[in-house]
Structure 1
Amino acid sequence: MLQLPAKRTTSVALTAALGAAALSFALAGGTSATAAAPPSVSGSPEGAFTRIADFYGAYIDAVYDGDGRTADRLRSFYLSESLQAELRQWEEANHANGVLRAQNVPLKWKVTSVDSGMGKTNASVTLTWSGDTTTTVHVQADLRTKKITSIRD
């Protein structure tokens, strides 16, 4: 039978005891003993749903940074011409940003797929404002062109 030197046996026992204590503390505190996975974002240029998420992420960044030129270019690239015209009318009538349906910029956003069919994909975009207030807009994109064709409250 293998016999470890006394000093090594003590350090192995101490390490095991500390590990068990850390695990007990983690479980008692409601945390996982394993490391949390780092956040990740993925997508595909081929998917209309991904395009909705890409647009909202980049657009909110541009508006937040006060970069109107980039925001306008994003609208031109991601939104259908008819939606761009509709948004201009909505904005004149409501004195607010038609994409965000607000006068200010959200602190967070989340895009959730709702369904796809009949050549369209639908998503809900949850916008989180200060005080954790949320609003939701419903967005539709064309599967063929991948352009966003509708934004509704």
Structure 2
Amino acid sequence: MKKLIITTFCTWILSALLYAALTDESFVTLTQSVDVNQNVLERYLTTQVMSPNFGGDVYASYQILGTSTTRQEVYVWVLLQEYYPNHQQLERGTGISAPIVLHIDHSSGVSRIVNHTLPRDGSYYPSDLHTLFPLHISIGLMSHPTGLTNRLQRQLESELPLPVSNTY
């Protein structure tokens, strides 16, 4: 029994060290967070990530997937959708649903989003997920979580000032 406990402990320690070496993360930083004001986050997403192409307004719904205090990054799945008025309802314009890395600067004492990185499309997508996101997040993103996207869209459209047209 003592050998089993020692073997298990050593395996856990080696796994933690290997994980930290491969991902530049540690199990300690996974539980810490990078503080970003939600209003600042939403304003950045709606003004800096995607531009409206139909003259409408961009709205955001998102889920924070994790943070890295080591890299000063926030990992987010974002749904951005442009809506423009058409009679008494809103029409969908340009949209994006994707994981994004937000790069944070704390040098002034206040958290500020300085830029962002999106994974590239096509055959670059899997390697970019591995490069941009910590391992525990990139594994979950490989299957492109449609359930999350659908939930974010329902949440977003429930908060709009007018009903949304169901025609595409």
Alignment TM-score > 0.5, same fold: no
Name which one, 1 or 2, has greater alpha-carbon Rg: 1
Question: Which of the two has greater strand per residue?
Answer: 2
Q: What TM-score does the superposition give when structure 2 sets the normalisation length? A: 0.28
Q: What TM-score does the superposition give when structure 1 sets the normalisation length? A: 0.30
